[in-house]
Structure 1
């Protein structure tokens, strides 16, 4: 089955934009994902007392994201999806990583001991995802278009909450929800929407970047953006394999391994959404090869992350929204994204400059990007056969996923392992969809596949 997306891409998957156009498109992907890449190290360092190593952890995270994105875009030898699949530090691993760190901390371990344990269990956990990439064909009964559509929708809806939080000023902002914050975010949102509707390709291609620039200038005019002195950072961050040592513990490893399993499900959803937006098939041998290569690319990126002292990575969903808004699906842009991320990690002062973009400005941009991810999931569901069984699976999965997300304390009295697995909308809703899809009998119908091919666009 081919993708139902209209033929409105400025650059298709294998088309090569001019260097300036490719750079502009790549920069927007980086701006949309930068905060997401650096935030998990900030949270982990704050919770485990790793502040002295934070600049190095962030630099390594950006560098590994750049290398992983390059491998995904190249898609050579079965490694990588051959699409724009920006790799970034995953939020899904936070609870398992923090649990591993707390285990060492309670034993009296030093910050270096904590990091050695985290990177040790994450290194071996990466092989779980690498192994799953080799048997995705056997999982096709589990990861169906219906399940994938539900997961993509939940990913987008879950990310919208992050965008709205930034729009208000950030979770810890003392002026959260202030009119000035909402006005700045609204201005960015309006600029991006307006430029995306333009008939001029270069305006649409640069919509996110221009929106962030306009929002930052407005924030500076209002006094909300006050450039801060740059911190004392080394000129160059040098990657050193296992810089903090290497350790392992089964009790720390098992939760991490289970999250790698869940991360594979999320990656499958993100890759399917990317195929949909990039006008690539979402069924058949070619689609399966992309899934295998993309999941393998995720696993290899996580292996590199553990080796070079940063936390597990995954394919970022928000970049599918950038593809949809800019109309640029060219995998050659992925090379530029990888180079920019590598430079940001190698020269940490560049990342420190980008960190000064105000939260409301970023929120205005990410809100529409995350909404685009949810829309891709809904579009995939719209082309499934929505019989009573399918509607029941959709309703129950969304109800469980969004219900737990709205009441995160619901699972507090369950064992920590269960709570860590099911405390997000993506994991709880995705696992619910898989179980129901396996257990509920399919209704008999004559020669109708689960997802029907759409009528050709005229």
Structure 2
């Protein structure tokens, strides 16, 4: 993720090195080919968060199918709005938006706890989607006051929180590699077959990333998952219950689970919505830069505000239509650089394909058939990449004693609470609800210390 890009250019550079610039309109066949290249890089990250959360909470095959389908539809709608731009909505760039990994850890942790306490799964999902809807207004509000928020949520704070998200997600990834929560209950966790499936996928991703062919590297995850899918079929591990229970075509149903709310689930989401908004600033800025558009000034600020606003509006839609928050995808920038296609009109094709895939639930059913260890072999790489992007943000700063102290205390408290949640068990409920999430504890510590400790000089990106 390019969370905080360099804002040193105020004028667009020549677009000579772009095959299709922002406003160019490729012929339909070429636009569709470019769209497919984007889809190869984004389809797995879009559907994976929903699959992981549903598998962890024990959501039924039919409901999982619907949630995965809606993640595709909602991602398509957001991508369309980001690219086309409608009034204040959208960045007007070739931006792909999809389900965010940032929310996976806290939603699984909070949801699993509610299930263990005896709350029916349907009621847990109603609370999750109520929290998603409530949190979306944070992003919508932030989009209007971005300059003010950036004074408090600095690159130092963002780097710490992104690193915390990645480190806490790695546990989720390892559980998936071993077979998931279901395997833990059945006594098959991390058995030979599960490790064979996850290890094959992980090994292939590593090998494919060493091949000097650009399209192979960019599609490494989807190729490896395809191989894992085939191996799972040979082992008789594919479960097509989702396909059998799915309709051929299904119109989205709002509030399928009803709506509820949980402060325990909501507290960590506040910090993550804040950080996701700032990630969007960096990703939109990076897209502007590689599209040869301004990366500072009024045009850039309007693009950023419009992009973050769509993050919030689309997360609202996601909650209403039974899926999880979405955000701007950083992978998109790599594809633009590889292909030289920065035309926002290509985004319309990407959006159309995503919506069509989501409206035919049998497709989600085929995706859902993949065993969790196969998925685990891929997500461990993705989650590690989240942590690495946090390190990358911090590495781009001049880290003085003050910054190192903030990093040390925030990581220690955040990771400590995530490993020993009993530490907050005797605190008042309103504090416990907030601090029992490691991401929230680490993030709030970073924000507070960054405000409290005087600084001699603002940490600057290293050029």
**What TM-score, normalized to structure 2?**
0.76
Cα distance change on mapping 1:52 and 1:148 into 2, 3 Å: closer
Hey, what's the Cα distance between the residues in 1 that align with 2:152 and 2:31?
A: 41
Give the root-mean-square deviation of aligned CA atoms.
Answer: 4.2
Cα distance change on mapping 1:122 and 1:215 into 2, 3 Å: closer
Task: Give the superposition deviation at 1:235.
Answer: 2.4
Equivalent position SS for 1:80: coil
What residue number does 1:85 align with? Answer: 97
Task: Give the superposition deviation at 1:12.
Answer: 9.8
The question of 1:140 aligning with 2:150 is answered yes
Task: Give the superposition deviation at 1:241.
Answer: 4.8
What residue number does 1:26 align with? Answer: 39
Aligned partner of 1:385 among 398, 404, 408 = 398
Cα deviation per residue 1:18-44 (whole Å; 9 max; x = unaligned)? 533531431342223313124445666
Cα distance change on mapping 1:180 and 1:154 into 2, 3 Å: same
Equivalent position SS for 1:315: strand
Q: In the TM superposition, what are the counterparts of 1:242-321 in structure 2 within 5 Å?
A: 252=261, 258=267, 261-271=270-280, 274=283, 280=289, 284-285=296-297, 288-289=301-302, 291-308=304-321, 310-315=322-327, 320=330
What residue number does 1:205 align with? Answer: 218
Task: Give the superposition deviation at 1:160.
Answer: 2.3
Q: In the TM superposition, what are the counterparts of 1:27-66 in structure 2 within 5 Å?
A: 27-40=40-53, 46=59, 56-66=66-76
Cα distance change on mapping 1:287 and 1:209 into 2, 3 Å: same
What residue number does 2:81 align with? Answer: 71
Task: Give the superposition deviation at 1:351.
Answer: 0.5
The question of 1:363 aligning with 2:376 is answered yes
Q: Is the 8 A contact 1:148 1:269 kept in 2?
A: yes
Hey, what's the Cα distance between the residues in 2 that align with 1:186 and 1:326?
A: 31
Hey, what's the Cα distance between the residues in 2 that align with 1:421 and 1:128?
A: 16
Hey, what's the Cα distance between the residues in 2 that align with 1:353 and 1:97?
A: 25
Q: Is the 8 A contact 2:7 2:296 kept in 1?
A: no
Equivalent position SS for 2:247: coil
Task: Give the superposition deviation at 1:52.
Answer: 8.0
Aligned partner of 1:164 among 174, 184, 197 = 174
Q: Which runs of 5+ in 1 are unaligned?
A: none
Hey, what's the Cα distance between the residues in 2 that align with 1:326 and 1:212?
A: 23
Q: Is the 8 A contact 2:410 2:445 kept in 1?
A: yes
What residue number does 2:447 align with? Answer: 434
Cα distance change on mapping 1:207 and 1:97 into 2, 3 Å: closer
Task: Give the superposition deviation at 1:371.
Answer: 1.9
Q: Is the 8 A contact 1:237 1:347 kept in 2?
A: yes
Task: Give the superposition deviation at 1:182.
Answer: 2.7
Cα distance change on mapping 1:294 and 1:116 into 2, 3 Å: same
Cα distance change on mapping 1:151 and 1:70 into 2, 3 Å: farther
Cα deviation per residue 1:232-281 (whole Å; 9 max; x = unaligned)? 22222223456677x78xxx476676555323223135325635875849
Aligned partner of 1:234 among 242, 247, 254 = 247
Cα distance change on mapping 1:311 and 1:211 into 2, 3 Å: closer
Aligned partner of 1:406 among 410, 416, 419 = 419
Hey, what's the Cα distance between the residues in 2 that align with 1:206 and 1:51?
A: 28
Q: Is the 8 A contact 1:216 1:357 kept in 2?
A: yes
Hey, what's the Cα distance between the residues in 2 that align with 1:253 and 1:64?
A: 24
Q: Which runs of 5+ in 2 are unaligned?
A: 9-16
What residue number does 1:2 align with? Answer: 6
Report which stretch shifted further, 359-368 or 409-418: 409-418
Hey, what's the Cα distance between the residues in 1 that align with 2:153 and 2:336?
A: 29
Cα distance change on mapping 1:321 and 1:158 into 2, 3 Å: farther
Cα distance change on mapping 1:210 and 1:152 into 2, 3 Å: same
Cα deviation per residue 1:187-235 (whole Å; 9 max; x = unaligned)? 32232233223332222232222111222223333x1534535322222
Q: Is the 8 A contact 1:188 1:211 kept in 2?
A: yes
Task: Give the superposition deviation at 1:376.
Answer: 1.9
Cα distance change on mapping 1:73 and 1:347 into 2, 3 Å: same
**Number of aligned pairs?**
430
Q: Is the 8 A contact 2:418 2:436 kept in 1?
A: yes
Cα distance change on mapping 1:75 and 1:453 into 2, 3 Å: farther
Hey, what's the Cα distance between the residues in 2 that align with 1:340 and 1:60?
A: 13
Equivalent position SS for 1:86: strand
